[in-house]
C-alpha cells in the first residue's frame, strides 16, 4: 500500500537523538583558547566538554546552538558557522546521538561567562594545555574545529572579529600568528593584506618611539568572506566520519 499523510507510521523507524555542540575560540595572553564546561552529571561526570545539548523539536539547528551556548556559558550574539556532523554509533553511552558541531570566534573581554545548573564550571583553556581527555568524542571535534579555524584564517577575514575598531598591521599580524601557530614574514603579510583591500586607513596615528604607527579599520562592506591569503590547503574537507 502506498503511504500518505494518513497511513504513514513514524514508529516503524528508529529515531536517533540530535544534539548541537559549539566550539568557541578566543585569544587571551597571546594564546588561542577554547571554552569548555565541566559536566555535573553522568555520563562523563566531572569531565570537561564542549558546550552543547539536545535540540528541541520546534527549533532549527542554529537556534539550538545559540540557546545551548547561552544557557551553558552565558555567551550570546556571536557569529556561528556549522562545522561538521558527528554520528559514530557508539559516540554517546546514553543512546544513539548525532551531533552537529558549530564553530565561533569571539573577543574574550566582551563575554561574561555564566555556569549553568548542568555544569560545575565554565572556563577558557589554552588549546595547547587542555584539562585531560574531553568527554564523548569532543577531542576529535576540537581537533577538526581547530584545523577549520586555522584554514579560514588563510582565506577569510574571520580574524577581524578579534580586533578593536582601529588597529595596526602588526596587531593584525600578531592575531594571525597566534591562531596559525607560526611566525609570518612581515613584508609578505603586509603585501597580501594590502592586496586584499579589506583595510581602510583611518587617518589616525599612534605615537611612540620612532615613526607614528598607522591605524586601520576593517572595511566591513567588503563582507566577512573576502579572500585574504592562503598558505596551505585545509585538511578538514578530507576528514571522514569514524
How far apart are the C-alpha atoms of 147 and 151, rounded to whole Å? 6
- 72 in Cβ contact with 112 (< 8 Å): no
Residue 225: strand pairing partners: none
Say if residue 1's pLDDT is above 70.
no
> For position 197, what pLDDT does the model report?
84
Q: Are residues 22 and 75 in the same domain?
A: yes
- What's the rounded mean pLDDT across residues 37-63? 98
Residue 149 maps to a domain: yes
- Residue 182: domain span: 157-222
- What CATH number did the domain enclosing 90 receive? 3.90.79.10
Say if residue 227's pLDDT is above 80.
no
- What's the rounded mean pLDDT across residues 196-223? 86
Q: Are residues 206 and 147 in the same domain?
A: no
* Least confident range of 117-131, 139-153, 174-188: 174-188
Residue 241 maps to a domain: no
Neighbours of 176 (CB within 10 A): 19
- Residue where one domain finishes, among candidates 133, 153, 173: 153
Residue 128 maps to a domain: yes
Say if residue 161's pLDDT is above 50.
yes
Q: Are residues 92 and 124 in the same domain?
A: yes
Mean confidence (pLDDT) of the chain: 88
Say if residue 55's pLDDT is above 50.
yes
pLDDT category at 110 given cuts 50, 70, 90 is low
pLDDT, tens only, 113-144: 999 999 999 999 999 999 999 999 999 999 99
Q: Are residues 22 and 135 in the same domain?
A: yes
The percent of residues in the chain predicted with pLDDT above 70, rounded, is 88
Entry pTM: 0.83
The grid cell for 119 is 555544569
Q: Are residues 110 and 143 in the same domain?
A: yes
Residue 53 maps to a domain: yes
Q: Are residues 62 and 141 in the same domain?
A: yes
Total residue length of the chain: 242
**Which residues in the chain belong to E strands, given as ranges?**
17-28, 31-39, 48-49, 52-54, 80-86, 97-105, 119-126, 199-206, 213-218
Q: Are residues 136 and 61 in the same domain?
A: yes
- 24 in Cβ contact with 34 (< 8 Å): yes
The grid cell for 204 is 589616525
Amino acid at each position: 500500500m502506498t503511504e500518505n499523510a494518513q497511513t504513514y507510521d513514524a514508529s516503524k523507524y528508529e529515531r536517533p537523538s540530535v544534539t548541537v555542540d559549539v566550539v568557541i575560540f578566543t585569544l587571551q595572553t597571546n594564546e588561542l583558547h577554547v571554552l569548555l564546561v565541566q559536566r555535573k552529571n553522568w555520563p562523563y561526570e566531572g569531565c570537561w566538554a564542549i558546550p552543547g545539548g539536545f535540540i528541541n523539536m520546534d527549533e532549527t539547528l542554529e537556534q539550538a546552538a545559540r540557546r545551548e551556548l547561552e544557557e551553558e556559558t552565558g555567551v550570546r550574539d556571536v557569529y556561528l558557522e556549522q562545522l561538521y556532523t558527528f554520528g559514530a554509533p557508539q559516540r554517546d553511552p546514553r543512546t544513539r546521538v548525532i551531533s552537529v558541531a558549530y564553530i565561533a570566534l569571539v573577543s574574550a573581554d566582551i563575554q561574561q561567562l555564566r555556569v549553568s545548573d548542568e555544569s560545575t564550571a565554565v572556563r577558557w583553556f589554552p588549546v595547547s594545555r587542555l584539562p585531560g581527555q574531553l568527554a564523548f568524542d569532543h577531542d576529535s571535534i576540537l581537533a577538526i574545529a581547530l584545523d577549520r579555524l586555522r584554514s579560514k584564517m588563510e582565506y577569510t577575514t574571520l580574524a577581524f572579529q578579534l580586533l578593536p575598531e582601529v588597529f595596526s598591521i602588526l596587531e593584525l599580524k600578531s592575531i594571525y600568528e597566534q591562531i596559525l601557530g607560526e611566525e609570518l614574514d612581515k613584508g609578505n603579510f603586509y603585501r597580501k593584506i594590502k592586496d586584499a583591500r579589506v583595510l581602510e586607513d583611518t587617518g589616525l596615528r599612534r605615537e611612540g618611539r620612532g615613526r607614528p604607527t598607522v591605524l586601520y579599520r576593517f572595511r566591513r562592506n567588503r563582507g566577512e568572506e573576502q579572500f585574504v591569503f592562503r598558505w596551505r590547503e585545509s585538511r578538514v574537507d578530507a576528514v571522514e566520519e569514524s
